Amino acid sequence: MSSSNSVTVQILDKEYSIICPPEERSNLVGAARYLDGKMREIRSSGKVIGADRIAVMAALNITHEMLHRQERPDGAGEGTGTRREQVRDLLERVDQALSDDPVSKKD
């Protein structure tokens, strides 16, 4: 692919140049904006410090949202909540581990 297929996005005040097909540009920009918003939300909470840890928490939160939507595509009923509960438990455990980790407070 040529450099004309490159898209520059900003995530947490850093620029990233990403090569993608022209028909995917708007999706990529939208995804980057969504990720940036999630990361800023986590950073502003003050519970997680360090861009890499913020990125992991954002990825876990986005994955949780995605799994929740897959379980309830029509918005009806609970269906199988086991996977969602497991992800929620994992998020809580990671959040607790990061807030207790003295290394994360130094980043």
**Global pTM value:** 0.64
Give the chain's domains with CATH numbers: 3-100 (3.30.160.880)
Q: Cα–Cα distance between 44 and 37 in angstroms, integer?
A: 10
Q: Taking a C-beta distance cutoff of 8 angstroms, is the pair 57, 107 a contact?
A: no
Query: Of 16, 36, 17, which Cα lies nearest the Cα of 5?
Result: 17
Q: Cα–Cα distance between 105 and 12 in angstroms, integer?
A: 18
Mean pLDDT of 70-98: 65
Q: Taking a C-beta distance cutoff of 8 angstroms, is the pair 61, 54 a contact?
A: no
Q: Which of 8-17, 58-67, 98-107 has the lowest mean pLDDT?
A: 98-107
